[in-house]
Amino acid sequence: MSSTPSQPHPSLEVPPNMSLNSLSNASSRASSEASLQRVKNLPGYTTPVFKGKEEQRAKVQADVAAKGFIPRELVANEVNWFYSQLGIDDTYFQNESPSVISDHIIALFGAKVLAYTKHDLNKLVIDLERIDEKGNGATFIHTSLPGLTSTEGPGATCESRIDSLYLDNSTPSNCYRLETFRSTGSISATASQQLRCYFITKCNFPSPPPPSTQTDGLTDIRTVSDTAFLEKASPHTLEVYQKIIWQVESRYGPVMEVFEVEGTRERRLVIGYKMGGTSRFFSALSNLYHFYQLYSARKYVEQFSNGITIISLYLNPMPNSTGAPIEHSIFQVMKEASLLYCLPDNPFFLDSVNSGHAVQEATYAYCGWVFAQHFCNRLGPAYLHLKNILDESNPLHAEVLNNIKRRFREETFTRESIAQVIHAHAEIIHLLYVNFAMVHYPAADEASQLGPTLSYQRLQTTQPLSDSELYDKIRRTVLNKQDLQVLESFLIFNKHILKTNFYQPTKVALSFRLAPEFLPEIEYPNKPFGMFIVIGNEFRGFHIRFRDVARGGIRIVMSRNKENYSINQRMLFDENYGLAATQSLKNKDIPEGGAKGTILPSLGAPPRRCFEKYVDAIIDLLIPGQTPGIKERLVDLYGKPELLFFGPDEGTADMMDWAALHARDRGAETWWKSFTTGKSAELLGGIPHDTYGMTSLSIRQYVLGIYKQLGLREKDITKVQTGGPDGDLGSNEILLSSDKTIAIIDGSGVLVDSAGINREELIRLAKRRLTVAHFDKTKLSKDGYLVKVEEQDVKLPSGEIVLDGTDFRNGAHFRFKADLFVPCGGRPEAVNISNVAALTDTEGKPHFKYIVEGANLFFTQQARLHLEKRKVVLFKDSSTNKGGVTSSSLEVLAGLALTTQEYLDLMIFKDGKPSEFYQKYVKEIQEKISENAAAEFHCIWREHARLQGAKPRTQISDELSTRLNNLQAELEFSDLFDDVPSRRGVMRRAIPATLVDQVGLDALLERLPETYQRALFSSWVASHYIYKYGVNSSSVDFFHFARDLAR
């Protein structure tokens, strides 16, 4: 963690006295020795001899002759060539029936006749396939030139079809193994083409599996293997795969090993990973080794019942190859395979024939493509001019501006138009990649085996350009203004990358820590402290924080359809920025500033897998790599340790345990306990908000504050509530209150009783977390009713007919009148400037006297101001529902303050019961939530009264948040923290007494990172000072306040 965001590096030039040539040579030597394992020149698999082959040949010959397509005098020769000269493995003959084989021989003959009529034997194309209708496997055979990726004909799509049909969706209960090899003979005496054969069979795992021979608890490969694999695999292959399986089980990302075959130039690349970890990977690997002029003699894909996939490639150099020797290029293939694992479906590598981009350059192009989609400046001077003319405080003007902004974003730069620019300017992208690589390629030294790869060595003929030279070249070369803007965004991307896992040997997604200085102030007036962008095969994501020490939820943004996905994609960063900025307002009196993460899965992608990859890729940038060949040290221009704190949000509530445990597995021994909040209480010592009513306690203080200030009796108050007894806020609002609730609206329907809904029945539903649809209707008065969303044509007691239950529910919050409205659930912006008038009657009188927001963003800012003008007493979400963030903050504190052993002893339940420490700590958290909420309520109430209502409470709340955040920022790095008595006095009061008594203040101050201590100190001082003296306090007031800090 650090005090200020690092500035973008001013220049990306090569270090003095270092050339690309010397760097690559030193490192290729290291690479060629790294990971080198020699194996004997023996087959990795044995193909059982097919004993019935001659008998089958006779049947096939008779069948071919009977079908009559081949002249009878040629039949014997064609069948003999197919069986003896073509070099097809016995696996084929053993798997196929005589009828299928005879069809294939006739098809081969027909193809030769067709090629003859064209007078070009090079046009000879064979395409044989058999897909089992019952899903037991398939056979594909087609002509294939070694070392070349086919762009037309059957070879162009065969492997991608195999990926989609048999490999991408593998599960332990439904998976396939694959053997593929090149025929050793040519198609005929006159045509030199060889055949590529693919044999796919459904895995057959014995049930029950054979007993394990392992005594150490590790997986025994024989207990998880397909029976055919065990019959064919050599002892050495079993030994290699066994080790790979153990490594995959202990690691989140892929495992890659290279083996040199003695006495040959053949290299065997073995890759292991968890099923579902990537997709379209098998076909992408062929493009990769073809790029380096290698061809595969054999390839195998094995799948195991414990959810692991292993791909084995037997690679050889092409005869007369002009590429780098395989002794070097194999390490290039291995390293770039890790990038392919992250992005196997990269359009800029698939076009490598035209662009010349190696995987690293193509991956860089893809990342720049994503960056450009979000950050090409799409508003410009016309928007700025309009913004200056219009009044953003006027709701109508604000809506016009918002619509224009959205229109600009949709129409100026599309994904497709940016991709076209990248394809059209391959040379510029190449130079931009050099500019990026010269900074972020890890230095080659004895401690690091990760050397510059061959794509890097290829750049030795390219003179690296300085930023200004590169910018000038782009301007001179690219005349189209929009193209120029796209390519300039790549340069902006380069200049603001502080660290990246791009060159890590193994990874599951690409992550970049960016300095946020490039964000235009016109669109993003509050500059974030730091930001991350994460790019995976099936998702993209961001993380934004507004202070060094910051916390916020990780939200998964799901898309209903292609159009919705497109909208979400365009708005993802803006949504993330807005959520993080809002979180900053809410986090005003805790040490952590506002932060938020968003993840956008592709359509159909599993959200949990996207979340796991997002977390792992960000951890790559938080923990220094220590393991050569797996996780190595990165180039870190930020230069300071960073801590992030993640919390649950939409779609991730059940994933916080995994993230904390994964951080621990990755080596985050000091901070895994505080990495996530919202962890399960029993297993990981989390403090669940709903169980202890943390958020509701804060909301409750505002409701009670209104009652007290206005002299109201709760039992006389009528109330409408959105969010039912099944939810966190809704259930706790019911359990904590004793008012006369007349309507509750939730996901299941609308429950109404003007006489007051039966409190006992509501409490029953709240305790059991059931929706209002489960309400016992016998407990309703004669005027009460329940309308469920699935119902139609419901007659209400008044005689009104409800045509559709869902439509009725969606607008129900506009129907009712009561003293108090507490929204505890519902969609964001449910009440906005275009519909807020529906909350007033025909005479302009509001439906509610008091509104305390429980749900986030239920009202827009304009809607709040509209209601406050009509004398509604309204308290907004960032003030009222901060109980949850206070609870999470103190959960983080416990994780940072306790050692792992203390945490296990004190925070994790024993026999399903919490420790005495845990119970005391939770009680103290609840007290702090109530204390903070009451203090802020009184501060807002006093200020509103002082101004005699001239300023709305909504505005006072925002100004209070801003004042608190600004004061915190000033205090964090002030001399006041350096005054030890003041610091100790504040810490003693800021840290819950339960924790101070258990650990001791001195030990706590040793354990807590200094940046966290500064944040805790400044947040406590700022909030207690402002809440005591008000937003207009003077410097004299602060002097009096500071004088007492040491007490």
Catalytic residues: 596
- Which residue from 408, 406, 435, 323 is spatially nearest to 575, judged by alpha carbons? 406
Residue 59 contacts residue 98 (beta carbons within 8 Å): yes
The torsion angles phi and psi of 418, rounded to 5 degrees, stand at -70, -40
- Which residue from 622, 335, 324, 333 is spatially nearest to 450, judged by alpha carbons? 335
Residue 478 contacts residue 452 (beta carbons within 8 Å): no
Query: What token pair was written down for 35?
Result: 């990971």
C-alpha neighbours within 13 Å on the C-beta side of residue 564: 10
Terminal Cα distance for the chain, rounded: 30
Tokens 């002249």 map to which residue? Answer: 71
What type of residue sits at position 523? E
Tokens 């001399």 map to which residue? Answer: 975
Helix, coil or strand: residue 974: coil
CA distance 618 to 26: 30
The torsion angles phi and psi of 588, rounded to 5 degrees, stand at -65, -30
Residue 436 contacts residue 364 (beta carbons within 8 Å): yes
Q: What angle do CA 229, 231, 234 make, to 5 degrees?
A: 85
The torsion angles phi and psi of 712, rounded to 5 degrees, stand at -100, 150
Number of helices (H) and strands (E), helices first, in the chain? 42, 25
Which residues does residue 801 pair with via DSSP β-bridges, in sequence order? 795
Cα separations in angstroms, 837 against 815, 844, 870? 12, 8, 11
Residues with Cβ within 8 Å of 627's Cβ and at least 6 positions away in sequence, in order, are none
Residue 232 contacts residue 178 (beta carbons within 8 Å): no
Helix, coil or strand: residue 574: helix
Query: What token pair was written down for 257?
Result: 């090993």
Helix, coil or strand: residue 374: helix
- Which residue from 117, 1009, 1045, 250 is spatially nearest to 642, judged by alpha carbons? 1009
CA distance 859 to 833: 9
CA distance 724 to 726: 5
Residues with Cβ within 8 Å of 826's Cβ and at least 6 positions away in sequence, in order, are 722, 723, 745, 813, 855, 858
- Which residue from 179, 199, 197 is spatially nearest to 126, judged by alpha carbons? 197
Residue 724 contacts residue 747 (beta carbons within 8 Å): yes
Residue 506 contacts residue 630 (beta carbons within 8 Å): yes
Helix, coil or strand: residue 555: strand
Query: What token pair was written down for 440?
Result: 């972020």
